[in-house]
Amino acid sequence: MATRSENLQGAALMSGAMACYTINDAFLKVLSDDVPFFQLLFLRGVATTVLMFVIAKALGMFDLRMTRRDWFFAALRTLGEVGAAYCFISALFNMPIANVSAILQALPLTVTLAGAVFLREQVGWRRWLAILVGFVGVLLIVRPGVDGFNIYGIYALGAVGFVTLRDIATRGLAPGVSSMTVAWMASAGVMVFGGLGAVGTQWAPMSAWHWGLLLGSAIFIQGGYLMAVMVMRTGEIAFVTPFRYTSLLWALILGLLIFNDWPDALTMLGASIVVATGLFTLWRESRLKQAE
């Protein structure tokens, strides 16, 4: 069992990872006004993939020796990462950052649902009810069929689906597979996808300001990757995982300070429902594991 200091360290790492991911999102959103989508996706992919390779090699964590089964799940995980990057960044470029982040908070619910459907994991009626109520919260955020509906809300839901695929594929990997290698493969996949899309794109000139934001984006997302790997080896998962929701706080703060955006009352209500049901789901999973 992890000590109190290990749990606190894990909570700090999880919070730090969420901060890095959200700051990266903010940098990308600022760049979206001047840099085409695929150009940005490709250039960030190059920077992230190179940085990750250098760090993985330096830490001795780069190892492509895997079984055929692990290669399959690593490839499936990369597909999920590519789809998530496309859908998430498309939504991010066209929606308030806090709204996109609020929809992404449904991930614990969708991963639980996918585990029940595809992995035959046992899910009791309480968690099924939490999933149902959580999706009602998502509908309050997306609001299909009303004047405030934005098609890019569907892209955000698509990102949730692809991240769920990524996480379910990750569960299929053998414990000895290098986390950094698998993350590098996903980053390389996004880079290749962005490069293919950029071939038919009219590239925009980039100033030193643009390059600085792009480098900052790559550094922060790399920090998020590293801390996300470290957090899985520090503290108890049941204690650490709820700190994933700090990403919504960062999105609210950055959205207000940088973009002068603040979600309306219905969006905040929906986000609160999603977070509450997600926390309940995580709590129930931890209780059930303790009872085993």
Domain ranges, ordered by start, for the chain: 94-171+262-292
What value does the mean pLDDT take over residues 99-126? 84
3-state DSSP assignment of residue 151: coil
On the question of pLDDT at 190 being above 90, the answer is yes
At 117, the pLDDT band (50, 70, 90 cuts) reads confident
- What phi-psi label fits residue 188: left (phi over 0), alpha (psi between -120 and 50 degrees) or beta? alpha
On the question of pLDDT at 46 being above 90, the answer is yes
Closest CA to 78 of 170, 195, 194, 149: 170
pLDDT at residue 147, rounded to an integer: 55
**Alpha-carbon torsion 239, 241, 242, 244, what sign?**
positive
Buried b (16+ CB within 10 A) or exposed e, 257-268: eeeebebeeebb
| DSSP calls for 39-71 | HHHHHHHHHHHHHHHHHHHHTT-------HHHH
What value does the mean pLDDT take over residues 36-58? 93
Closest CA to 45 of 154, 189, 150: 189
What value does the mean pLDDT take over residues 204-231? 88
On the question of pLDDT at 4 being above 70, the answer is no
Closest CA to 214 of 26, 87, 85, 53: 26
% of the chain beyond a pLDDT of 90? 49
Which residues 6+ apart lie within 8 Å of 121 measured at CB?
Answer: 112, 115
Name which residue leads in pLDDT, 273 or 146.
Answer: 273
At 204, the pLDDT band (50, 70, 90 cuts) reads very high
pLDDT at residue 237, rounded to an integer: 64
Closest CA to 131 of 80, 231, 239, 121: 121
| DSSP calls for 81-110 | HHHHHHHHHHHHHHS-HHHHHHHHTTHHHH
On the question of pLDDT at 211 being above 90, the answer is yes
**How does DSSP classify residue 241?**
G
Which structure tokens are listed for 91? Answer: 């939504």
**How does DSSP classify residue 3?**
-
State how far Cα 272 lies from the chain centre.
19
| Beta carbons of 282 and 238 less than 8 angstroms apart | yes
| pLDDT mean across residues, the chain | 87
Which structure tokens are listed for 110? Answer: 């969708």
